[in-house]
Chains A and B, each alone.
Chain A
Amino acid sequence: MTDTSLYEQQSLIEDSARRFLDHHYSFEARRKIIHEEPGYSTRQWEEMAELGWMLLPMSADFGGLGGDMALVSALAKEFGRSLFVNPFLGSAVVSTKIIEESEFEPLRSEILDGIGAGGAIVSPALYEAQVRYDLDNIATTASEKDGRIVMNGTKTAALYGNVASDLLVLARHEAEHKNASFSLCLVSVEQLGIAMTHHRTHDGGRMSDVQFRDVEVNRNQILLHGQETLPIVKRAIRYANASICAELVGAMEATFEMTLEYLKTRQQFGKYLSSFQALQHRMVDMFMRCQLAESMRREAARAIESANETEQDMIISAAKCEIARAALLNAEEAVQLHGAMGMMDEMPVGHYLKRVFTLGLLFGDADYHQNCYRNMRIQASH
């Protein structure tokens, strides 16, 4: 905890992100942006790339800024405060962390350059509806026969598939005389046999369902193959969850602050709401959950940088399930304490509830991570 320059860098990122979002992404501006396609401002996206934000999660080996989670977390927390929704998490975080692990050049460098510059948006197509969050049991196949590879299956929750140039598809690799394993393929959205359905999510984000029907894949589209595929994907998901934790904590802080402000200005029974002890204690509980969540956010960032894989798994699952639950509870409390005003579309508070609920579902919800944690804990003998 003594790296001065790291703290300075975090502060710089926070300041720059807050300035950017205050200026470009007021609640009013946001309402307009999320209701129009593609759901975010492409001009803002370009500016984000110019600020170097896309390079933050990326390893320096590929021209990135090193990928230190403390910095990504600082940025994500600011996104959370402002309800900023955009393809960053899917493309610049998850896809980047997966592609970095590929050994296939020049493809790897080309895509990473594209993502880093903001020009390419690569949407991870990993999950499938029938297996919830369980990647080990996905059904999409990449079948190898007579020298051709053909992909079939249906993916869900491909983040910002509506603007993606490419999809990163996790599939079960089937070949004659070989043990089944997993492959990760980079597929252009233009390819024959791909059908996408785009959805708007409750928080104003976008995600897509993708159907693959006999989609032909060239060998040079396979970025990862074999035993290492799934562990690499899971590592990227851990990284994503550390970032989600930060967004949730940012949202928690903002929700807390606006509720505090509301109680101090709204009067009933001739008194400010802030003078009622029943409400004060609920605010204190919200405050404490914010503080504990902030500690776990930092823990998650620390774990990504310094813990071994098992420990990382446990800490990320612990952080995700605790923070996702706390964020949701705080958002529900915030709506309640705003009274009927809390139900108004014109008030930000309800939109924070929608955001933390939706964000909490991505890459394993609270129950999923609670289960993961418990299973790991039971296996660790003491």
Chain B
Amino acid sequence: MLNTPQFSPELEAFRLTVRQFIHENLPDDIRQMVACERMDLPREAQVRWHRILHSQGGWCCPSWPEHYGGPGWSDEQQYIFEQELSLNDAPRLMIYGVGMLGPTLFKYGTEEQKQRVLPDILEGKIFWCQGFSEPDSGSDLASLQCRMTEDGDEYVINGSKIWTSDAHLADWIFGLFRSGGGERKQQGISFLMIDLSSPGVTIRPLKIFEDTHEVNQVFFDQVRVPKENVVGVPGQGWEIGKYLLSLERFGTAEVSRTKASMKRLTQLAFAPAAGGMRLIDNVDFAERYCRIERSLHALEMTERRLLLGDQRAESVDTGASLLKIRGTEIQSDVFRLTAEASAHFAAVDIARDYTELQADNPYQVGDATRNYFNYRKTPIYSGSNEIQRNIIAKAELGLS
């Protein structure tokens, strides 16, 4: 692995503190699930880890300022913290509440909303999910049609949201809903928070071809939502949604997650083999391996340059799109190669009980083939890579 430049001594000391905390406090069963590349952690495991981080002075919400109960970290500290979580097989943060809704409320929420919603996110009491896509509105998000109609002090919601990750685990959903019309389809959209236990909400599980249940379709049939659950003003939803998506700067490329995956692949590649011919001694395999390693290094340095910047101002407004495209492309390459590294074993469909994984099988990185199939989602989700290219073309290059 190519080394990356160190941060200042203070920040590197901070890194060690974080690392030590994870080593001492991350429960083994959770670490094992993450080390198997599993994204669909049970709610109980996510919440347990969230509360452990919470007890450490708000580490569960690394981007939150101190007066909302976060640690009040600098960009560099947040970056290093997320790196260490990834490299040490700790779960991803509870992104919807912690990374998205919380910071959105800092900016657009009323005082009442902040006091009502934020403490429950911080303490891991309420589990959030996000409702953007609809059956007929995928990449063309602004065409969304799930309606909210005014009725006294409430809105009445009718329609459905789809590809809703973790809706089956969640208590509440936030998302964009059609509240009116306008010349442009981006007008007449509102940002709303909805209690999933409300009458009229139905959640239908959707199984992805890899065989897990991560996403759902959420149906709304005459669901009544109090007006105080609108964030911002009605019609401001598109602006708020764009802001919310721009918040996820440090996560989209998953560079450090992919580095952790590469460490696992490295173990396979250099493992002693019968006949003395290790995987890495195969020139074609070695070349694919090395290419990924170089690409990942270039991406990591780009991430640091674009996100943390340096004193010569960088001017890539669409850095997050670039990082998402390349990050997910490289991630896919790693998972394909890891699966292929296992030869015949890659054909075996292992029962998805990670607690029973055998550590003595050198080819077993979770079920590498399942992971490969599962991670085909990443170039598609949160704005497909084609949409990301449209964004760069328009916003960065001025092509239209």
Q: Which residues of A contact B (CB under 8 A)?
A: 1-2, 4, 7, 10-11, 260, 263-264, 274-275, 277, 279-281, 283-285, 287-288, 291-296, 298-299, 302, 306-307, 311, 314-315, 318, 321-322, 370, 373-374, 377-378, 381-382
Instruction: Report whether A381 and B399 are in contact in the complex, using a CB–CB cutoff of 8 Å.
Output: no
Extra inter-chain contacts (18) besides given A287-B392, A322-B294, CB under 8 Å: A1-B5, A1-B310, A2-B8, A7-B312, A274-B398, A287-B396, A292-B326, A295-B301, A295-B302, A296-B297, A299-B298, A314-B2, A315-B2, A318-B297, A370-B287, A374-B286, A377-B289, A377-B293
Q: Which of A2, A277, A280, A377 gathers most chain B CB within 10 Å?
A: A377
Instruction: Report whether B312 and A264 are in contact in the complex, using a CB–CB cutoff of 8 Å.
Output: no
- Interface mask (B61-89 → A, CB under 8 Å = 1, otherwise 0): 00000000000000000000000000000
A-chain residues with CB within 8 Å of residue B286 when the two chains form the complex: 374, 377-378
* Least distance between A238 CB and chain B CB atoms (Å): 15
- Chain B contacts with A in 1-45, Cβ cutoff 8 A: 2-3, 5, 8
Judge whether B348 is part of the interface by a CB distance below 8 angstroms. no
Interface size on B, residues (CB 8 A): 41
- Interface mask (B269-307 → A, CB under 8 Å = 1, otherwise 0): 010000000001101001101100111011101100110
A189 to B187, CA, bound (A): 76
A-chain residues with CB within 8 Å of residue B396 when the two chains form the complex: 287
B-chain residues with CB within 8 Å of residue A381 when the two chains form the complex: 270
Which residue of chain B has its CB nearest to the CB of A14?
A: B312
* Least distance between B251 CB and chain A CB atoms (Å): 19
A179 to B277, CA, bound (A): 35
Residue from B3, B293, B299, B398 within 8 A of A292 (CB atoms): B299
Instruction: Report whether A298 and B290 are in contact in the complex, using a CB–CB cutoff of 8 Å.
Output: no
* Least distance between A49 CB and chain B CB atoms (Å): 28
Known contacts A280-B389, A295-B302; is A373 also within 8 Å of B290 by CB?
Answer: yes
Instruction: Report whether A382 and B270 are in contact in the complex, using a CB–CB cutoff of 8 Å.
Output: yes
Instruction: Report whether B311 and A281 are in contact in the complex, using a CB–CB cutoff of 8 Å.
Output: no
* Least distance between B74 CB and chain A CB atoms (Å): 14
Residue from B2, B280, B322 within 8 A of A291 (CB atoms): B322
Q: Which residues of B contact A (CB under 8 A)?
A: 2-3, 5, 8, 266-267, 270, 280-281, 283, 286-287, 289-290, 293-295, 297-299, 301-302, 305-306, 310-312, 316, 322, 325-326, 386, 389-390, 392-393, 396-400
Which residue of chain A has its CB nearest to the CB of B8?
A: A2
Instruction: Report whether B398 and A264 are in contact in the complex, using a CB–CB cutoff of 8 Å.
Output: yes
* Least distance between A130 CB and chain B CB atoms (Å): 24
A321 to B3, CA, bound (A): 18
Give 6 closest A-B pairs by Cβ, nearest first.
A280-B393, A295-B301, A295-B302, A274-B399, A284-B389, A292-B298
A-chain residues with CB within 8 Å of residue B310 when the two chains form the complex: 1, 7
A-chain residues with CB within 8 Å of residue B267 when the two chains form the complex: 382
* Least distance between A121 CB and chain B CB atoms (Å): 33
A247 to B301, CA, bound (A): 19
Q: How would you classify the secondary structure of chain A's contact residues: helix, strand, loop or mixed?
A: helix
Known contacts A281-B393, A318-B297; is A292 also within 8 Å of B302 by CB?
Answer: yes
Which residue of chain A has its CB nearest to the CB of B267?
A: A382
* Least distance between A321 CB and chain B CB atoms (Å): 7
Instruction: Report whether A291 and B312 are in contact in the complex, using a CB–CB cutoff of 8 Å.
Output: no
* Least distance between B163 CB and chain A CB atoms (Å): 23
* Least distance between B180 CB and chain A CB atoms (Å): 31
B-chain residues with CB within 8 Å of residue A285 when the two chains form the complex: 389
Residue from B290, B306, B322 within 8 A of A374 (CB atoms): B290
A-chain residues with CB within 8 Å of residue B2 when the two chains form the complex: 311, 314-315, 318
A298 to B312, CA, bound (A): 13
Known contacts A7-B311, A11-B312, A283-B393; is A322 also within 8 Å of B399 by CB?
Answer: no
B-chain residues with CB within 8 Å of residue A306 when the two chains form the complex: 5
Please list 15 pairs of residues, one from A and one from B, whose beta carbons are closer than 8 Å in the complex, sorted by A's number: A4-B311, A277-B393, A280-B389, A280-B393, A287-B392, A288-B392, A293-B298, A295-B301, A298-B301, A311-B2, A318-B297, A321-B294, A322-B295, A378-B280, A381-B270
* Least distance between B280 CB and chain A CB atoms (Å): 5
A382 to B386, CA, bound (A): 36
Instruction: Report whether B316 and A291 are in contact in the complex, using a CB–CB cutoff of 8 Å.
Output: yes
B-chain residues with CB within 8 Å of residue A370 when the two chains form the complex: 287, 290
A222 to B394, CA, bound (A): 60
B-chain residues with CB within 8 Å of residue A322 when the two chains form the complex: 294-295, 298
* Least distance between B192 CB and chain A CB atoms (Å): 33
Instruction: Report whether A284 and B326 are in contact in the complex, using a CB–CB cutoff of 8 Å.
Output: no
B-chain residues with CB within 8 Å of residue A314 when the two chains form the complex: 2
Residue from B294, B306, B389 within 8 A of A318 (CB atoms): B294
* Least distance between A268 CB and chain B CB atoms (Å): 15
B-chain residues with CB within 8 Å of residue A293 when the two chains form the complex: 298
Q: Which of A4, A10, A284, A285 gathers most chain B CB within 10 Å?
A: A284
B-chain residues with CB within 8 Å of residue A260 when the two chains form the complex: 397-399
Known contacts A288-B325, A374-B286, A382-B266; is A283 also within 8 Å of B399 by CB?
Answer: yes
A292 to B327, CA, bound (A): 12
* Least distance between B101 CB and chain A CB atoms (Å): 30
* Least distance between B321 CB and chain A CB atoms (Å): 9
Which residue of chain A has its CB nearest to the CB of B392?
A: A284
Known contacts A288-B326, A377-B290; is A280 also within 8 Å of B311 by CB?
Answer: no
A-chain residues with CB within 8 Å of residue B8 when the two chains form the complex: 2
Q: Which of A264, A285, A288, A381 gathers most chain B CB within 10 Å?
A: A288
* Least distance between B275 CB and chain A CB atoms (Å): 17
Instruction: Report whether B311 and A2 are in contact in the complex, using a CB–CB cutoff of 8 Å.
Output: yes
Residue from B301, B312, B389 within 8 A of A281 (CB atoms): B389
Q: Which of B270, B283, B297 gathers most chain A CB within 10 Å?
A: B297
Known contacts A4-B311, A292-B299; is A274 also within 8 Å of B3 by CB?
Answer: no
Instruction: Report whether A299 and B270 are in contact in the complex, using a CB–CB cutoff of 8 Å.
Output: no
Q: Which of A287, A291, A321 gathers most chain B CB within 10 Å?
A: A291
A-chain residues with CB within 8 Å of residue B280 when the two chains form the complex: 377-378
Which residue of chain B has its CB nearest to the CB of A375?
A: B286
Q: Which of B298, B312, B393 gathers most chain A CB within 10 Å?
A: B298
Which residue of chain A has its CB nearest to the CB of B310?
A: A1
